[in-house]
Amino acid sequence: MKFTQSAVLAFAATAVAAPSATTKDEPRQAASGCSSAVTLDPSSNPFKKYTLHPNKFYRDEVTAAVAQLSDSSLAAAAAKVADVGSFLWIDTIANIAKIEPALADVPCTNILGLVIYDLPGRDCAAKASNGELKVGEISRYKSEYIDPIVTLLKAHPNTAFALVIEPDSLPNLVTNSDKDTCKNSAAGYRDGVAYAIKNLNLPNVIMYLDAGHGGWLGWDANLKPGAQELAKAFKAGGSPKQLRGIATNTAGWNAWDLSPGEFSTASDAKYNKCQNEKIYVDTFAPELKSAGMPNHAIVDTGRNAKTGLRAEWGDWCNVNGAGFGVRPTSSTGDELADAFVWIKPGGESDGTSDSSATRYDSFCGKDDAFKPAPEAGTWNQAYFEMLLQNAVPSF
Ligand code: BGC
């Protein structure tokens, strides 16, 4: 995962069931899921009916982290993090195997969040999250990654799923098309995203396409091209009706409604109206609409409690001093924002700080990045403890 130096690019450019039988009132089933098929109504907010599920994998990571804490009050606070709903990242073909076990304890009141994240040539503008599939391996992406996930989701019609589709991919095509790696990945990203949303368009699934964040597609010069890029993928995927809008701030650090925004005194601030995520969601929505795409949003608040930590808006790797943010909720105070959710599992690294590693990205060595940090996706106990200590609200 990474976020780009969009400011620079912006300069360059100017000078990125409901109607189902399953509601919160229904009794929890002994087995997983509901007693009948779930039908999510894409015209209403699924998070009003379903709670984001605290999945077993994050719960296990947190439980292991708690066991390492000798301070009993910190341990008690840490234990509460296990109950927070968060998304489970299916970041490799092998990790598709996590879906079945994650389904074992999902009550009918909950929705299981999954991140679809395995495009060929992944993370084209950075190195930290380069994936297993190489540019050109689009048929493997379809047949070995998306198809088996579709089969699994179809096999569990009584469970509700929320999907975040391919973080960073389309935003990178908007702002980083000058990079050879992104140029090479572009065709596979567009084809792959369209294929994913077309085939994952199931009644028990609601989808959100990743749209970066306010400091990325929120630049004046990026809003329209961003909306068009996303809408193009939506249409190429057959305008799937279960796609409800966008996911923003995935693994990001932006505050929801801090005003004035964190970077509003920066010299380039005049080129970006979207100085917080709320403004971004509200400003991008009409652009999406006119480009022909649904425009509701979910916003990652997993690690955005503290601001003033990043030297530059585009700094994305293991930001030092960060804290857990608002817990998942559908009370956002904004009609367009379906929910605050935890997409990035707080405690999992954004990228290694080992400069000799193949996937070392210089952003993970910056002064504002926490060190040492392990490979992307792996647990960083010290970072988890920092997030906990800096949490707002506290645990
Ligand atoms: C990593 C993935 C990981 C995800 C969630 C990404 O940056 O590349 O491997 O699953 O973060 O931690």
DSSP notation for 301-352: -TT-S--S--SSTT--SSBTT----PPSBS--S-TTEEEEE--S-BTB-SS-
Binding region for substrate: 89, 91, 213, 216, 316, 344, 348
Give domain status of residue 294, yes or no.
Answer: yes
Nearest to 344 by CA among 239, 225, 251: 251
139 has pLDDT over 90 = yes
29 has pLDDT over 70 = no
- Nearest protein CA to atom 4 of ligand 1, as residue: 377
Question: What's the pLDDT score for residue 32?
Answer: 79
125 has pLDDT over 90 = yes
Tell me which residue range forms the domain holding 113: 48-389
Q: Is residue 336 within 8 Å of 29, Cβ to Cβ?
A: no
Give the Å distance between the CA of 17 and the centre of ligand 1. Answer: 29
Q: What is the pLDDT of residues 186-228, one digit of tens each?
A: 999 999 999 999 999 999 999 999 999 999 999 999 999 999 9
Pocket test for ligand 1, best of 58, 123, 129 (most atoms within 8 A of CB): 129
Q: Is 168 a catalytic residue?
A: yes
Q: What is the pLDDT of residues 273-316, one digit of tens each?
A: 999 999 999 999 999 999 999 999 999 999 999 999 999 999 99
Give domain status of residue 83, yes or no.
Answer: yes
Q: Is 89 in the pocket of ligand 1 (CB under 6 A)?
A: yes
8 has pLDDT over 80 = no
Q: Residue 312's domain is classified under what CATH number?
A: 3.20.20.40
Q: Is 350 a catalytic residue?
A: yes
- Nearest protein CA to atom 8 of ligand 1, as residue: 129
Give domain status of residue 11, yes or no.
Answer: no
Q: What predicted TM-score, i.e. pTM, was given to this entire model? A: 0.93
Chain-centre distance of CA 337, in angstroms? Answer: 14
Q: Is 123 a catalytic residue?
A: yes
Q: Indicate the helix (H) or strand (E) that contains 76.
A: helix 72-81
Give domain status of residue 3, yes or no.
Answer: no
Give domain status of residue 245, yes or no.
Answer: yes
Phi, psi of 199 (to 5 degrees): -85, -25
> What are 196's two structure tokens?
């994913």
Give domain status of residue 102, yes or no.
Answer: yes
Give domain status of residue 30, yes or no.
Answer: no
Q: Is 252 in the pocket of ligand 1 (CB under 6 A)?
A: no
24 has pLDDT over 90 = no
If one counts the domains in the chain, the total is: 1
Q: Indicate the helix (H) or strand (E) that contains 62.
A: helix 56-67
Q: Which of 20-34, 119-133, 167-181 has the lowest mean pLDDT?
A: 20-34
Residues 6+ apart with CB under 8 A from 277: 213, 214, 248, 249, 254, 255, 256, 257, 299
Give domain status of residue 328, yes or no.
Answer: yes
pLDDT (mean) for 42-62: 98
